[in-house]
Amino acid sequence: MEGLLLDNDFAEEEDKPYVRLFLKRDGETIAALDPNFETYLYVVADHPNRVLKMVGKVEVHGLRPKSVELVNRTFLGKKVEAIKVAFNRPSDMPDLRHAIRDLPGVKEMYEFDIPPARRYLIDRCLTPMSGISIKGKTIDQDGMKIVVLDEPPVPAKVPEQELKIMSFDIEVYNPAGSPRPDKDPIIMVSLADNRGLKKVITWKDFKTGQDFVEVVKDEKELLERFVEMVKERDADILMGYNTDLFDFPYIRERARRLKVKLKLGRDGSEVLARKKRFATASRIRGRVHIDVYTMVNFLATIGHIRLIHYNLEEVYKYMLGKDKPDFEFTEFVDAWERGGERARDLLEYSLSDAQATLEIGLELLPLFFELTHIVRQSPFDVSRMTPGQLVEWLLISEAHNVGELVPARPVGEEFEERLDETYVGAYVMEPVKGLHEDLVVFDYRSLYPSIIVTHNIDPSTLNCDCCKPSQVVTVPEFGYKFCTNRRGLIPSTLEKIIQERVRLKGEMKKYKPGSREYRQLDAQQWALKITANSFYGMLGYPRARWYFKQCAESVTSFGRHYIKNTINMAKDFGFDVVYSDTDSLFTKLNGKGRDSAMRFLKQVNDSLPGIIELELEGFYQRGVFITKKRYAMIDDEDRIVVKGLEFVRRDWAAIAKKTQEAVLKAVLRDGSPKEAAEIVRKTTKDIVGGRVSLEDLIIYTQLTMAIENYRAIGPHVVAAKKLRAKGVEIEPGMIIAYIEAKGTGSISERAVPVEDFKGVEYDPDYYVENQVLPAVMRIMEVLGYKDEDLRYEKAKQVKLAEFVDDSKI
DNA sequence: CTTACACGGGG
DNA sequence: GGGTACGTGTAAG
């Protein structure tokens, strides 16, 4: 039997452990159970034979190793004789491992920290989201085939399988600002899927006549109906936006209180909370829960999406180019209580959330499925990995295939020591501050990967004893040398990734952009690019298994060498370099025409070794450069890219956010700092003149602990105390909305809760000096303005005319 | 200056 | 599977 491998997990039933594989075939789901899998670790010891005998006799609470054997492996390229210790079940490992560690002669232990389901995929060479072939006894159970395997599964080609992809979203009653899962009910669940489903389930009948609305009796029934719908639509993939952090934890708590069993699993199991660092990822057996936000966030951290905010609305607008209806969360309660037109809007909004999540998810899934193929771990795990983890799991798999032992994750002292090790990073040029027009941006195509491959950078090749000094390239500034005879695990794995990408790029030329084949190949090459670009980061990440400081610093050293050379070449060519960061170069064309950029590119590339190559990133009409890492540019399509200015958050008043946004637009779209300055002056004038609506002055800050526990009494704490004094119940998690009032004393003392603000005067000074000006000054000061030029003060405006001649810009 | 606390996504 | 988020900003003290 063959099918697409969707997911795998590890489970134990009546003390019998097994690995389970979920397969899809022609719309049918198959669960394949494999009781035959290995759980093991490696021991490296001074006298392997003597230690082997001792390990074989270890016993803890009646548990003993299943088997011990001597095997030949390598560690960081060097041959080692290792003791492979196998266990009867994964749960036997922790106690026995500690007992083995304490045996005399034991030097190191490896691969004890690889979870069974992942170990299984690696050892069996299976790739999720690909075909596999299985053999075994079949039992039918509730529409799902269960196969008990009597042979190991093997990779196989299967025709493309259509997956049922569903998204959902919840709306929650939130009278306290932040919803409290112990009190506030879920009022709506919206659903959408790739087969046309559009539904909102709610438990108040607003009689809006919207055909997608289904009314149930109460919240309990709403949750039951949600579970029923997921089963009915038979979702293979269940998506949401920020569901790991919000929706699932909330649903779980409500379900617990209402005594609803969240049996979303294909085997009838409940949603599992898998602890993952600070968050909890929810796992559904047999279905893949994908949090679209984690995918978006991943792309944001690697710089493939750059937005000011990564909320659903903005991400949807950026990725799909469409607007979705907005609904302020502060208005939920009112809409729910009063019904009518607002309830109608809320239902519409709820559906649009599920729909937008579905559309974004459908855009991103192909990429993450390709990452799954590369890394060879489940899409559930891969969609939640950091770039460093992607590389790590790929290397673990590659290491296994070549008999290389996997370094353990660093813990305790080893990790702490790494934190103290620092090394010089990339070269970042101090920008030529101010507004620049007619820009061309160049960047090195995968600079760090190219360096790693070209110079064979790997812990096993560092300062080898087999090469003559004259044969090897020396790392600039350090004098390290890397072997030229044998390939290291890291460069050889990376080289395969890069070569495959080159092949796919060639393949893509055979197809029309936009065609199915083209898009598939594009996702593949993109996933390879992301993976390749993550190798360097991993080398320098203290938590990584393959962390090697000398390798990481060699990469950056070579990087600085290449980019500085390029800057000098650009200057010689006649371009003004306004900024450079790591592998990129921002230059002014100086009226030379865009074709000159191509000539420069060729000149540089002719001078570069190996696979290191400079590329043209794009042309920009205008850009404002503020400091290192802080700039904004606008391209030919009027798209604004902003870097490093993202400090507009909810604990800033709306007036500050709005003014900053308007200033950037004026500067970039219209090229007019004068107009921007006018916007700021008008705003400060409005603030001083009391013409700003209170709405725009509210600052929202969350109470993160009980009010008594605060040692630092910030404004929101004072405002919360004032609320409590008049009988409002105050608890952690509440968002306190306050306004700064005019008067004497610290900012904290003058914080007044919004609901008490009637008849009070706000503090114009605070809003000008601590809100609006800080938000816009970073931009304005590089354009030649001083803060006194931007405050509303008639005398200063006259002075401004002398100080800045904006007419020239 | 150091220390404390909050931001993000979600509602 | 996991003892542990993270990088960065403001205000209080």
DSSP string of A305-348?
A: S--S--SHHHHHHHHH--------GGGHHHHHHH-HHHHHHHHH
Looking across all nucleic acid strands, the nucleotide with the smallest C1' to CA distance from residue A315 is B9
For C12, which residue's CA is nearest its C1'? A712
Q: Which residues, 6+ apart, have CB-to-CB distance to A411 below 8 Å?
A: none
pLDDT of residue A712: 75
Give just the sign of the alpha carbon dihedral A761, A763, A764, A768: negative
* pLDDT for res A122: 96
Q: Give the nucleotide nearest to A717 (CA→C1').
A: B5
Interatomic separation, CA of residue A772 and C1' of nucleotide B7, rounded (Å): 18
In this prediction, residue A793 carries a pLDDT of 65
State which residue has its Cα closest to the C1' atom of B9.
A242
Q: Are A56 and A171 in contact (CB under 8 A)?
A: no
Q: How far is the CA of A311 from the C1' of B9 (A)?
A: 6
Supply the pLDDT for residue A797. Answer: 41
State how far Cα A759 lies from the chain centre: 46
What percent of chain A is helix, strand and coil (3-state, nearest 5)?
Answer: 40, 25, 35
Question: Could you please report the per-residue DSSP string of A232-268?
Answer: HTT-SEEEESSIIIIIHHHHHHHHHHHT-----STTS
- Distance of C1' in C13 from CA in A242, Å: 37
pLDDT tens track for A523-535 = 999 999 999 989 9
Angle between helices A340-375 and A312-320 (to 10 degrees): 70
β-strand pairing of A584-588 with A576-581 = antiparallel
Round to a whole number and report the distance in Å from the CA of A245 to the C1' of B11. 12
Q: Is the CB of A748 under 7 A from strand C?
A: yes
The low-confidence residues of chain A, meaning pLDDT below 50, are 794-809
Question: Which bases in strand B are touched by protein, i.e. have an atom under 7 Å from a CB?
Answer: 3-11
Q: Using the CB atoms, write b or e for A257-278: b if 16+ within 10 Å.
A: ebebebbbbbbebbbbebeeee
Instruction: DSSP letter for A5, please.
Output: E
Question: In whole angstroms, what is the distance from residue A349 CA to residue A324 CA?
Answer: 8
- A285 CA → C5 C1’, Å: 26
| Cβ contacts of A102 within 8 Å, gap of 6 or more | none
Q: Which of A320, A319, A486 is nearest to A402 (CA)?
A: A486
Count of Cβ atoms closer than 10 Å to residue A184 Cβ: 18
Q: State the nucleotide closest to A174 in CA–C1' terms.
A: B11
Measured CA to C1', the nucleotide nearest A250 is: B10
Distance A701 CA to B2 C1' (A): 23
**DSSP bridge partners of A95:** none
Q: Which two tokens stand for residue A488?
A: 């290291």
Contact status, residue A333 vs residue A339, Cβ threshold 8 Å: no
Asked whether strand C has any atom less than 7 Å from the CB of A396, the reply is no
Distance (Å, whole) CA A324 – CA A444: 37
First to last CA, chain A: 71
The Å distance, CA of A343 to C1' of B11, is 15
Give me the residues paired with residue A140 across strands.
A145
Say how far apart CA A251 and CA A96 lie, in whole Å.
39
The confidence score (pLDDT) of residue A807 equals 38
Amino acid at site A237: I
Residue A150 CA and nucleotide C5 C1' are separated, in Å, by 43
Give SS3 for A300: helix
Q: What is the DSSP string of A733-769?
A: TPEEEEEEBSSSS-TTTTEEEGGG-TT--B-HHHIII
Residue nearest to nucleotide C1 (CA to C1'): A115
**C-beta of residue A22 within 8 angstroms of C-beta of residue A11:** no
Residues 6+ apart with CB under 8 A from A565: A607
- Protein residue at shortest CA distance from C1' of B4: A712
Q: Say how far apart CA A133 and CA A155 lie, in whole Å.
A: 6
How long is chain A?
809
Pairing of strands A28-34, A144-149: parallel
**Cα–Cα distances in Å, from A303 out to A186, A306, A387?**
35, 6, 12
Please answer whether residues A488 and A457 qualify as being in contact, where contact means their C-beta atoms are separated by less than 8 angstroms: yes
- Nucleotide with the nearest C1' to A350 CA: B11
Amino acid A612 CA to nucleotide C12 C1' distance, rounded Å? 51
In the block, which residue shows the tokens 């937008």? A356
Q: Is any atom of strand C within 7 angstroms of residue A778's beta carbon?
A: no
- DSSP label at A806? G
Q: In what order do the strands lie in the sheet with A434-445?
A: A576-581, A584-588, A434-445, A613-627, A630-635, A640-643
Closest residue, by C-alpha, to the C1' of C6: A278
Q: Give strand pairing partners of A94.
A: none
| Alpha helices (runs of H) in A102-136, residue ranges in sequence order | 116-123
Distance CA A796, CA A788 (A): 7
Q: Tokens 């049918």: give the residue.
A: A28
